[in-house]
Structure 1
């Protein structure tokens, strides 16, 4: 016989499942301890601007922290978190493709 707590927990889990809560994090198949989050962006240019803004915010927070005016921790800015996000947003594979395009452009100029 189930206790009231077990029934409440079961009802709660059914509610969560039916209401489609907790859908933002997607399980990472390669590592069960990690999750993926989808970030929507209109273009690589917008992605570049997002990374630039994260880096600029980190620089400002670190400058303010070093000048003694305001601590990054006091203002609620976690610089390490911002830098980790920026690092994850960098499109590594696309940068390799840009290197190939650049190499081809240099080769074409040399042929002319």
Structure 2
């Protein structure tokens, strides 16, 4: 499984099922070397794991603060542990067409 090391937040195993899935998309695959977000990652993971009523996570913040990278890493972390079967990815940009943005 993907090993998330507290304080480092680096994925150690690049041969897992989630990693193989991620290789289909260079944008997600490059996140396998994701670093620097351990406090944010563990805060979200702990909130979800401790309280089963949390089923949705909303990431918000300024442009360029790393929301996309954090979401991709969280998705891979949960997919690899079979705790997530699907992820809904959307864009709420005023200029975007919602039908084409949800993946």
Please, what TM-score do these two structures have when normalized by structure 2? 0.26
Give the number of the structure whose residues are more often helix, by fraction.
1
> With CA pairs under 8 Å and 6+ residues apart, which has the higher RCO, 1 or 2?
2
Please, what TM-score do these two structures have when normalized by structure 1? 0.25
> Which of these two proteins has the greater Rg computed from alpha carbons?
1
